[in-house]
Structure 1
Amino acid sequence: MRGWFAAVLAVVALAGGAAGAQPARAPVEISISCGALGVELQLCTDAVHRWEKKTGNRVRIVSTPNSSTDRLALYLQMLASRTDEFDVLQIDVVWAGILADHLIDLRPYLGDAPKAHFASLIRNDTVNGRLVAMPWWTDVGVLYYRKDLLAEYGFAPPQTWQEMTRIARAIQAAERAKGHTRMWGYVFQGRAYEGLTCNALEWIDSFNGGAIVDAKGDITVDNPRAIEALSLAGSWVGTISPRGVLNYDEEAARGVFQTGDAVFMRNWPYAWALAQGQDSPVRGKVGVVPLPKGGPGGKHAGTLGGWHLAVSRYSKHPAEAASLVAFLTSAPEQKIRAVKAAYNPTIPALYGDPDVLAANPFFGALLPSLESATARPSRVAGPHYNRLSSDFWRAVHDVLTGDPAGPRVAELNSDLDRLKYRARW
């Protein structure tokens, strides 16, 4: 297993100094899986070095796919084999129920630390009374816009998706007429993967079309408001969004927006720090607001995202792994991530920290969106969420590629009803 794993994944061995450290037991080596979206890997590497220096232990960073869909598939395969290749796993907010059987209960190791975090996130990570993960950073979908272009053409940030569509079309046409032929109105995550579930859930919920499955477990996606939302999104592809958006993930969308070739972008807050970087062509030209409403009767709806840390049941060093989780999710470490790279803390007190707000002026306005973010139906679907989501994003992708929304949503509703019957949730 180790040989196969090494052939598939890139493993970065980090040598940590133990100068001045007084470990309570002989140093050990543990591993952590970190993503590499934006500056994720560098932030993880730096934080791990600090823990190594503090404890005298060593950490091996395991590179995993940035696509959440691909990463979950890898985790499920590796954990099913009960490998000890993973000690600490970076998991999506919706995976606690899916992976719970493979994760240890962190409560005996963390004391009162969970009380400092958003209570909703701790509830999310508690499965059958066991705290199987700890929040590392939280997320909510937001709308980025070129404030210089909106000002130039006399527009305010849009309040509805329909208004965004009109503004995007007008500025795209005007910029192309001036010779900027690569300009697009709107880029988002349109690839057939979990990121599309997040985008599409925002569209539907903003139109008051629900969240695919209601709190009772009933399938609700086949309704006129959901169909209206998806029909509007389908109209964007090839008009204000490039056909290539059908294969965009977060970084692909950011690449187009940050090079100056899009008016609007849906992404997570992490993209703010990168857009404001010294070498960014749009530095100082970007604004951030909540995602638009689905018309006059709609609401702002941003999908709850974020990543958490868990410890594998098959770890040979669970105490040290839990210690690393406690360190990385602590307030000082979350503050570093917020200031350096605009990662949203999972500790409410940090939203009043002057250093955090100086680096991210929009964080204060973002707090209500985080507190009311749209949750994916992972708690209702439990271990069947991955199948539910894949059925959903495949259907949405079909609509974006040209299928009529009404018939495709009706087909999706039937598929999910059958899944519910088999899963008996």
Structure 2
Amino acid sequence: MRRFAAFVAPTLTALLFSVSASAVEISLSCGAVGAELTHCQAGADAWAKATGHTVKIVSTPNSATERLALYQQILASGSSDIDVFQIDVIWPGILVNYMIDLTPYAKQETLQHFVSIVANNTVNNKLVAMPWFTDAGLLYYRKDLLEKYGTKVPTTWADLASVAEKIQAGERKAGNDKMWGFVFQGKAYEGLTCNALEWVDSFGGGTFMDDAGKITVNNPHAIEALKTVAGWVGSITPEGVLGYAEEEARGIWQSGNAVFMRNWPYAWALGQAADSPIKNKIGVAALPKGGANGKYSGALGGWQLSVSKFSKNQAVAADLVMYLTSDAEQKRRALVGGYNPTRPALYQDKEILAANPFFDSLYETFTNAAARPAKATGAKYNRVSNEIWNATHAVLSKKETAEKAVPALEAALVRAMR
């Protein structure tokens, strides 16, 4: 027995030394909207425990616009400070030259994800990123208040405005002078481009430009959409909405001071938390149509994971990406954080549907979400989006009329695409 122990001890020591010597630290960028940073850390810790490597989490700005600017600054310098980047669904064409091709690491795993998202992440036959979670804009509503006032979930924006006005007035009369009818993301940043896309598309005004890059925004439906929304500001929507991103809107909503909210799926789990004032009072539906001849439209969102070509440990970083986008990890994130999987099979999972009932009823909303014109614009997308959110913000803040802003936006997009 002693001879066996004498043999095992140095062998085990050598093995541990080998693992330790080969272990590396991978830096991973994560957003911090809601509880996102916490869930990202948990997934990274599980991978680290299983592999012996370590992960350094790099917190990045909540604003997608600010995050992209930071990424471009880091990557343009050739820095290896970040190995794995969390990138928006609209960025593969912008960042393609800075990321490795993940095809050799993904192998057949791409077949388990939504085909449209894999296609979005593939630029010039290069798999720029693996799908991590998907998103679409949703309508959150206070089901207890709708029941109290005898109203139904609105199916058109006109219905929403009417219900919002009725309940806002009733609740203020009852003593809550902080109550508002509707909150959304109105700050001049990428989130406003998403909201503007939903409004314009729902009225039948298209998605600013078609897949071939032809600019289509200058039409009566787009003008009607922006004019309608501008009329809400100061009425059923606080003027402060002009500075709201996702978390500012959620703050008003979750404190119990809004009837309706436009936001992403992540807000569900937070609204249902034990300490939430509106727990079990929340309903989720598709965003309203522009009218009888309009359509339901939610902007396609979601985030992917890419490996920097400047990473000194590309294979290990790619292994982390494959773990974080795996079936088991996507299921865990859906259960604890309400993140939409990018794997169709998980939408049949009973545990996930029990935790997120709207995943089933709004499946078509997620799979048919309206895409921003990232494919058609490629590296020019950021400038195009900037023009969209600035024009929309000018209308909402009453600095410009929709009738003047829309033709001006058309001209600006023509210049941006030259």
TM-score (norm 1): 0.93
C-alpha distance in structure 1 between counterparts of 2:417 and 2:190, whole Å: 19
Question: CA contact under 8 A between 2:134 and 2:340: conserved in structure 1?
Answer: yes
For 1:142 and 1:285, how far apart are their aligned partners in 2?
Answer: 16
Q: How does 1:76-155 map onto structure 2 within 5 Å?
A: 76-155=72-151
Show the counterpart of 1:228. 224
Compared with structure 1, are the counterparts of its residues 93 and 25 closer, same or farther at alpha carbon in structure 2 (3 Å cutoff)?
farther
Task: Give the structure 2 partner of residue 365 of structure 1.
Answer: 361
**Corresponding position of 1:167:** 163
Give ranges in structure 1 of 5+ residues lacking alignment: 1-18
- Matched to 1:182, the amino acid is K
Three-state SS of the structure 1 residue aligned to 2:140 is strand
Pick from 281, 286, 306 the counterpart of residue 282 of structure 2.
286
Structure 2 residue 410 is matched with structure 1 residue 418: no
Once the two structures are superposed, the pairs formed by residues 352-391 of structure 1 within 5 Å of their partners are 352-391=348-387
2:390 — aligned with what? Answer: 394
Q: State the Cα distance separating 1:388 from its structure 2 match.
A: 0.1
* 8 A contact 1:21–1:53 mirrored in 2: no
Q: Which whole-Å deviations, capped at 9, do the CAs of 1:171-215 have from their partners, x for residues lacking one?
A: 101111111100000000000000000001000000110000112
For 2:228 and 2:153, the matched residues in 1 are separated by 19
CA distance in 2, matches of 1:190, 1:56: 44
Q: What is the rounded CA distance, in whole Å, between the counterparts of 1:182 and 1:242 in structure 2?
A: 10
Q: In structure 1, the residue corresponding to 2:199 is in which secondary structure?
A: helix
SS of the equivalent of 2:22 reads: coil
Q: Counterparts in 2 of 1:267-306, with a 5 A limit?
A: 267-306=263-302
Q: Deviation at 1:25?
A: 7.5
Residues 208, 51 of structure 1: alpha-carbon distance in 2 compared, 3 angstrom cutoff: same
Alignment match, 1:317: 313
2: CA distance between counterparts of 1:333 and 1:20?
Answer: 27
In the alignment, the residues of structure 2 paired with residue 395 and residue 255 of structure 1 have an alpha-carbon distance, to the nearest angstrom, of: 26
Distance in 2 separating the partners of 1:205 and 1:351:
26
Q: What are the within-5 Å matches in structure 2 for residues 214-253 of structure 1?
A: 214-253=210-249
Deviation at 1:24, TM superposition (A): 11
Aligned to 1:63: 59
Q: Cα deviation per residue 1:190-245 (whole Å; 9 max; x = unaligned)?
A: 00000000001000000110000112211111110000000011011100000110
Matched, 1:49 2:53: no
Counterpart AA for 1:131: L
Is 1:263 aligned with 2:235?
no
Partner AA of 2:401 in structure 1 = P
Misfit runs of 4+, over 4 Å: 19-25
Code of the residue aligned with 1:189 in structure 2: it is Q
**In 2: Cα distance, 1:23 partner to 1:138 partner:** 35
SS in 1 for 2:305: strand
Q: Paired residue for 1:209, among 200, 205, 209?
A: 205
2:49 & 2:275 partners in 1: Cα distance? 32
**Which residue of the other structure, out of 182, 193, 198, is the alignment partner of 2:194?**
198
Give a deviation string over 1:23-43, Cα, whole Å, max 9, x none: 598101110000111111110
The structure 1 residue matched to 2:402, chosen from 390, 402, 405, is: 405
What per-residue deviation string (whole Å, max 9, x for no partner) do you get for residues 316-342 of structure 1? 000000000000000100001101111
Equivalent residue in structure 1 for 2:69, among 73, 81, 88 = 73
Distance in structure 2 (CA, Å) of the matches to 1:166 and 1:21: 69
Query: What is the alpha-carbon distance in structure 1 between the residues aligned to residue 18 and residue 159 of structure 2?
Result: 60
Structure 1 equivalent of residue 303 of structure 2: 307
Q: For the structure 1 residues 68 and 346, does the alpha-carbon distance in structure 2 shift closer, same or farther, using more than 3 Å as the test?
A: same
Q: TM-score, normalised by structure 2?
A: 0.95
| Number of equivalent positions | 403
1:341 corresponds to: 337
Q: Against the structure 1 CA distance between its residues 26 and 259, is the aligned structure 2 distance closer, same or farther, given a 3 Å change threshold? A: same
**What are the Cα deviations for residues 360-390 of structure 1, in whole angstroms up to 9, with x where unaligned?**
1111012111111000000000000000000
Residue type of the partner of 1:317? Answer: N
| Amino acid of the structure 2 residue aligned with 1:44 | C
Contact 2:139/2:285 (8 A) holds in 1: yes
Counterpart Cα distance in 1 of 2:92 and 2:43? 23
Of residues 327-336 and 361-370 in structure 1, the stretch that sits farther from structure 2 once superposed is: 361-370
Question: What SS does the aligned partner of 2:44 have?
Answer: helix
**1:95-151 per-position Cα deviation (integer Å, ceiling 9, x unaligned):** 000000000000111221111000000000000000010010000000000000001
Asked whether the 8 Å contact 2:20–2:52 carries over to 1, the reply is no
Residues 22 and 55 in structure 1, CA contact (< 8 A), matched pair in contact too = no
For 1:153, give the aligned amino acid.
Y
Residue 286 of structure 1, CA deviation: 0.7
* Cα pair 1:22 1:56 within 8 Å, conserved: no
SS of corresponding position for 1:86 = coil
Shift of 1:21: 12
Q: How far off is 1:262 after superposition? A: 0.2
Query: 8 Å contact 2:211–2:375 — kept in the other structure?
Result: no
Larger-gyration structure (1/2): 2
